[in-house]
Amino acid sequence: MQARKKYVLLGLCACCWLVLFYWGGGVQLRLLRLLTRQRGEVVRPWPNWTDRAFLPRYAHLDELQTDPGTAESPRQRRQAWSAIYKDSRCRMETCFDFSRCRRRGREGFRVYIYPSEKNDHVSESYRKILTSIAESRYYTSDPREACLFVLGIDTLDRDQLSGQFVPNVDERIRGYPLWNDGRNHLIFNLYSGTWPNYTEDLGFNIGQAILAKASLNTEHFRPGFDVSIPLFSKDHPQKGGERGWLVRNTIPPRRKYLLMFKGKRYLTGIGSDTRNALHHIHNGKDIVSLTTCRHGKDWEKHKDARCDHDNLEYERFDYQELLHNSTFCLVPRGRRLGSFRFLESLQAACIPVLLSNGWELPFSDVIQWNQAVIEGDERLLLQVPSTVRAVGNERVLALRQRTQMLWEAYFSSVDKIVLTTLEIIKDRVFSHISRNKYMWNSLPGGLLVLPEYSTHLAHFPFYYLGLGVSPGQEFTAVIHAVSPLVSQSQPIMKLLQVVSKSKYCSQIIILWNSEKPPPIRSKWPPMPVPLTVTDGRRKTTSRFLPHVAIETEAVLSLDEDTVLLTSEVNFAFLVWRSFPERIVGYPPRSHFWDPLKHAWGYTSKWTNDYSIVLTGAAFYHRYYHYLFSHYLPQSLRTLVDRSSNCEDILMNFLVSAVTHLPPIKVAQRKQYKELPSPQGTKSVPWANPEHFSQRQECVNTFANWFGYMPLVHSQFRLDPVLFKDQVSVLRKKYKDLERA
Amino acid sequence: MYASGKYSSRGPALIPRMKTKHRIYYITLFSVVLLGLIATGMFQFWPHSIESAADWTLDKRSVHDAPLVRLPVSSPIPERGDLSCRMHTCFDVYRCGYNPKNRIKVYIYPLQKFVDELGVPISSTGLSREYNDLLSAISDSDFYTDDVTRACLFIPSIDVLNQNSLRIRETAQALTMLPRWDKGMNHLLFNMLPGGPPDYNTALDVPRDRALLAGGGFSTWTYRQGYDVSIPVYSPLSADVELPERQPGPRHYFILSSQTAIHREYRAELERLKEENGEALLLLDKCSNLSQGVASARKRCYKGQVYDYPQILQESSFCVVLRGARLGQAALSDVLQAGCVPVILADSYILPFSEVLDWKRASVVIPEEKLSEMYTILKSIPHRQVEEMQRQARWFWEAYFSSMKAIGLTTLQIINDRIYPYAARTYEQWNNPPVVKWSSVNSPLFLPLIPPRAPGFTAVVLTYDRVESLFRVITEISKVPSLAKLLVVWNNQNKSPPEESLWPKIGVPLKVVRTKENKLSNRFFPYDEIETEAVLAIDDDIIMLTSDELQFGYEVWREFPDRLVGYPGRLHLWDHEMGKWKYESEWTNEVSMVLTGAAFYHKYFNYLYTYKMPGDIKNWVDAHMNCEDIAMNFLVANITGKAPIKVTPRKKFKCPECTAIDGLSLDQTHMVERSECINKFASVFGTMPLKVVEHRADPVLYKDDFPEKLKSFPNIGSL
């Protein structure tokens, strides 16, 4: 065929095709629809009904607004409830007597511990729990003022086969005059039930008592009433506790192994289904899942074909090594739902992958676990490898840091576990003065956030970035005055001048701690900012009392003899606004470990690093006043008051314990200790050697209470950008700082 | 399409043999054919929505066309819901499977009209407008699937929103008639008004086997935590009334009670509160003598004075939401819409979406017993918190209450989060209103860590061909005690790096990476060779930094591992005349950027720079061969919300020997270009993330009157 004809033909074909398309489109569409119909069901979303506008409302407005109401009086209904909803259906509304906690806030929430009887055997763990409560700020020895009662009988281990099992609990508690069917009682338990079924049975009737229990099952958990606690070993430290193992954020965040498990395999009985399947995901390379049958006395009796091979493989890997080098750690159920492994992997920053269906996670009321662990499903074990592989690097980084945050905030010591339990209950009792989820789940954790101070996030020093706000533009100066006012040339007069001149200063409070009564108003110099004089009752700790008069977020704490310049104050304040959660001050001090004395040392020598800045002149957030007065125990504050010393060290301990960071030292024109003693009238306290050794002791006492040394060293100081540079003075904003 | 491809490929070979006239003819013909084919293809695969409605009868159907299903009297009744149901006991996860998008698939049963043997329908209303809205929203969402075999969740089209309009037994029978009912496994029912007189149960009374219930008005005894979803009671006023958002702040009234059917015991209590506190409280009730034709639902009265509802809600800071016979109240939705902080008095009530929403930030929950203390409790809340709660309340309404679509999709998202917990939305995503999401930062390196000194840092030197200068830099840096490794990024494709033997001998490993293209962004690539988290980016001509300065820089970085720690600082300024940002390299008192000619930072930021840099910034930098440091400063400040740290007095990177023309950072056009960069980046980020500070970090004893030899870092250079 000629080329030309060929093309004419082609053209004709095309035209036919086009004609067919444009005029016979309907035929094609029908064809097309037939084709798609064959492939499956027709794509048929919910139809757009033609008469949708005429559809009736689901309820009339009147019906919604005019609630039918019942004749029953609400008061009667509430009373009736407590008769219906008890025992396994207990809720705070029905099983808890709020009137026992009548007084508001901290004062109202008191915990009483029953005295233990002489021949009682109390386990190590329970002793620690009781110690934590007894040393907490909620403890009371008077049952009449108690809101919550804790048994002296050890109820941790309710496995009848265990050596720790305490018999006849039922009879004993029923003998208690205050038992009242368990109302307002808190019962701790770690192990319930026994072989082979490990039920949730405690072996005695807890009645209406709140249960703080490990391995709680969601079915038995009474929401908003019980508290799920983690399983912890008897070696768990009383206070302080080890820090998490994550010391740096490596990039990429993956470790040598992707996923690991090393533990027992149950050949029979409850929990064996899950544990028996774990070997399936073992690949010997990045997923190491090792089980052994060798546990218990008669393991060889139940031994199966895999046992020998598994046992061999099991010996090849070291648990600790795996824990350090794995990105994810499997936390499958054992006989009970929770296991030690959970806390171990949390501490090791090995992201837990939970295989424990129905486990009510520890402190699930308040902690958002999906931001720290991978909640797997026992039924989907074989999907676990692909699931964890699909977790992106960014998420791994976030999950891992979150494990550390939670570990350090709530789990690293028995103290923290017990206090968290108490705080959760307290938040329920005083529900309108309680922490929100954000406070519980962001740094520094709920225990350090006291809702009695405020329930507003922006009132705390740690949430500025998360809320997208910045700290206020003004500060309040609090001057600690101890010497009587005799002359107008006293250092305090100069100090008042200097501070009030700062454009950021909104008010000055003089804390009058002198033996003489405060002078009359007119004796004070006139100032551009309001001046308040309050009575400190000659207590050293009064300088950190949360005075209501302090309205700004920033507090500038000052000794009466501090010598400062306005520009020094201004500069330090601007620095504080960049670091509102820390102490920003001038004269530094340092602590160190003295290996000879096996104790902490304190030094005021000039060193290349520091861990304390003195609060004789320092900026910090006013919330720390509240923490100082309400979070720290009375014993430490008494120690400070008795010796009139160490209050600044204690404040540094507190703030560093909250932030895990050092304070910040800023540039200062002169060194604090070089100041001439004021008119030679009063001896400078820090010249006194006794004063110094007292401080040494303080450091050790404080470290003892915290359970660890919270102070952190820093090696830098913050100076103005052009500080002491060889550039024109005219350029410099803080030129005063450089004048000799 | 296939045919056309074939011919057109042969075309060019044939065409030259023909005359020009024919050629034009054929080319035209060809184009027509081609166009025609393309058009055909497009029409065939175009979404069906633009097809002529005449062919697609689906949208022309009426609700009344739904097929009729007659329920035999003897058809089975499901069991009453099982209170112990949880996701792992009553829900079949295998249906949801592993899926890369982590999204559940939802199937909606086609509408059927169920009647009993006598032909009486099972519900007095049939499909309600609200339920229809809900189902169409779900079918339009990407949860929807039409393939019943792939579905993970099934939604019956039987409307059970309001129990009052249902015949309970027959509705239950209808449920079992659903082809995939299978004991209610993976079925989701939506109900807003549960219970009926006289007991008013708090969950739907229709027996429903294992079906999940999205219910309004659950109490803590009927709510199966982690299984059911608590949803709001939708208020149809939301669609009818538009209440513009009001600025948070104090309102005319402090407390407002606007519900009409309040139990007299509560009303007496409220009256007493009003007596004590006067004007601050406004207690409204139903209007008794309204003229005909006025919707009583839209009016409220107090002593003969008439107020518009829900507009009046906007005039109060707090609005009381008391329980009635039911726990869930539609008034809650109205109150939130008005930006009024709800004061909820309903003991045992499970608040809507409480699994994910933090109600403490948007409401005040007071035990019914403490109604008399309400005023004192509310007065103790700080003003700023009230404002935040008002904003939060409005945001909850907008995002989760405002329409049936919002309610339905939120419910599905919650269930989705349970099935794929590792892909769940975060607290911030659920709870932060857009304005907070925009201004707040969630740093990816949020844990306060001071990493140990030991692993040291990796120095990354970007070089092109200045070998001599490069060798000097290498020799200098190798004196820094904490240097762990040196990485030379050889950015010259035309020239090979010098032979191994010519490189300076240093005590740490030295690696050379050759790049494929001469790009500035190569300096910020997260090379596998960088094994430390600390990276020192350094130019190949920077030799003036002393070993003390560098070591000190590293020490400071350890205390600020989430920031850029650099030497010379720079500033951005707002130029009022030009109305745009300006780059400033003068020696000012302020700093908002540090140059990356020598700067320490976390390796994570390399990863972010390479893979997560917003917009086309990376390409812009490579094209202009400039501003990579400004881009890095923007990136870090944006994600951490923090300023960089300038260390030591150093102000410039110029060595005495360098000539004036050498190096980039000199001429005037360069400065203009850098200003342009700032403006460009600020527009890409949509904000100015840089933070200005007035401090720099020096060693503790810097310039102090103290013996130099006792200082850790005595040799800190000058400007």
The Cα–Cα gap between B213 and B210 comes to 9
Residue B585 Ramachandran class (φ > 0 left, ψ -120 to 50 alpha, else beta): alpha
Chain-chain contact of A358 with B86 (C-beta, under 8 angstroms): yes
Contact flag B382-A459 (C-beta cutoff 8 Å): yes
Q: What pLDDT, on a 0 to 100 scale, did the predictor assign at position A489?
A: 86
Judge whether B690 and B637 are in contact, CB under 8 Å: yes
B661 has pLDDT over 50? no
Distance from C-alpha of A610 to C-alpha of B661, rounded to nearest angstrom: 44
Spatial separation of the C-alpha atoms in residues A736 and A566, rounded to whole Å: 9
Residue spans of chain A under pLDDT 50: 34, 36-42, 105-106, 672-683
A-proximal residues of B, 678-697, CB under 8 Å: 691, 693-697
A128-A131-A133-A134 Cα dihedral, nearest 10 degrees:
170
Contacts of A414 (CB under 8 A, 6+ apart): A125, A128, A129, A131, A132, A232, A236, A237, A238, A239
- Choose the closest CB to B695 out of A49, A85, A719: A719
Q: Does A16 touch chain B (CB under 8 A)?
A: no
Strands (E), A279-339: 287-292, 326-332
* CATH number at B236-402: 3.40.50.2000
What distance in Å separates the CA atoms of residue B543 and residue B540, rounded to the nearest whole number?
A: 8
Residue B55: pLDDT band (50, 70, 90) is: very low
Question: Which residue is closest to A352 within chain B, CA to CA?
Answer: B422
State the pLDDT confidence band at B12, using cuts at 50, 70 and 90. very low
Rounded distance, CA A188 to CA A155, Å? 6
Average pLDDT over residues B106-131: 92
Query: What are the residues whose beta carbons fall under 8 Å from the beta carbon of A657, sequence distance 6 or more?
Result: A706, A710
CB A85 within 8 A of CB A95: yes
* Average pLDDT over every residue of B544-572: 95
CA distance A56 to B244: 27
Which among B607, B627, B452, B631 has a CA at the least distance from the CA of B530?
B607
pLDDT band at B54 (very low <50, low <70, confident <90, very high): very low
How long a stretch of residues is chain B? 719
A438 touches chain B (CB under 8 A): yes
Q: Which long-range contacts (CB under 8 A, 24 or more apart) does A165-174 make?
A: A165/A203, A166/A120, A166/A121, A169/A203, A169/A204, A170/A204, A170/A205, A173/A204
- Region B622-636 average pLDDT: 94
Q: Minimum mean pLDDT among A681-685, B524-528, B546-550, B667-671: which range? A: A681-685
Average pLDDT over residues B6-32: 56
Structure tokens at B608: 């972010």
pLDDT at residue B663 in the model? 46
Q: Which of A15, A58, A436, A673 to mutate to test the interface with B (most CBs of B within 10 A)?
A: A58
Verify cis geometry, omega within 30 degrees of 0, for the bond prior to B198. Answer: yes
Domains along the sequence of chain A with CATH: 87-241+413-446 (3.40.50), 257-406 (3.40.50.2000), 475-668+685-718 (3.90.550.10)
Task: Tell me what ipTM this predicted complex has.
Answer: 0.90
Where residue B664 falls among pLDDT bands split at 50, 70, 90? very low
Across the interface, of B589, B590, B698, the residue whose CB is closest to A716 is B698
Best residue in B7, B99, B219, B446 for a mutation probing chain A (most A CBs within 10 Å) = B446
Q: For this structure, is A157 an active site residue?
A: no
Provide, as residue numbers in chain B, all residues whose Cβ is less than 8 Å from the Cβ of A575: 693-695
Percent residues over pLDDT 70 in chain B:
90
Chain B nearest-CA distance from A92, in A, is 9
Interface of B with A in 476-515 (CB under 8 A): none
Q: What are the residue boundaries of the structural domains of chain B, listed by start?
A: 68-234, 236-402, 457-652+661-697
Predicted TM-score of the model (pTM): 0.90
| Poorest-pLDDT segment among A495-499, B137-141, B192-196, B669-673 | B669-673
**pLDDT reported for residue A678:** 42
Q: Does A1 touch chain B (CB under 8 A)?
A: no
**C-alpha span between B709 and A736 (Å, rounded):** 28
* pLDDT tens for each residue of B391-413: 999 999 999 999 999 999 999 99
Q: What is the mean pLDDT of residues B233-241?
A: 91
Whether B236-402 shares its CATH topology with B457-652+661-697 is answered: no
Q: Name which residue leads in pLDDT, A675 or B201.
A: B201
Q: Count CB neighbours of A530 within 10 A.
A: 12
Looking at residue A249, what is its pLDDT?
A: 92
* Best B144, B228, B449, B457 residue to mutate vs chain A (most A CBs within 10 Å): B449
Q: Residues B269, B276: contact at Cβ < 8 Å?
A: no
Average pLDDT, chain B: 88
Binned at pLDDT 50, 70 and 90, residue B1 comes out as very low
Secondary structure percentages of chain A, helix, strand, coil, to 5: 40, 15, 45
Contact at CB, B111 and A394, closer than 8 angstroms? no
Q: Which helix (H) or strand (E) holds A310?
A: helix A307-316
Q: Give A606's contacts in chain B (Cβ within 8 Å).
A: 701, 704, 706
Neighbours of A207 (CB within 10 A): 18
Tokens 């250079």 correspond to B717
Share of chain B above pLDDT 90, in %: 67
> What pLDDT does B378 receive?
95
Overall average pLDDT of the B206-222 stretch: 94
On whether any CB of chain B is under 8 Å from the CB of A379, the answer is yes
Annotate B443-464 with DSSP letters as a single string.
-SS-S-----STT-EEEEEEES
Q: How far is A315 from chain B (nearest CA, A)?
A: 31
Instruction: Give the pLDDT of residue A687.
Output: 60
CA distance A12 to B33: 10
Q: Is the minimum CB–CB distance between B66 and chain A shorter than 8 Å?
A: no
Q: Cβ of B439 and A468 within 8 Å?
A: yes
Q: Which residues of A touch B361 (CB under 8 A)?
A: 436, 438, 457
Which chain B residues are Cβ-neighbours of A394 within 8 angstroms? 444
Catalytic position from the list A154, A226, A415, A648: A648
For helices B20-45 and B2-14, the axis angle rounded to 10 degrees is 170
Report the CATH number of the B457-652+661-697 domain: 3.90.550.10
Distances (CA, A) of A254 to A348, A349, A400: 14, 12, 10
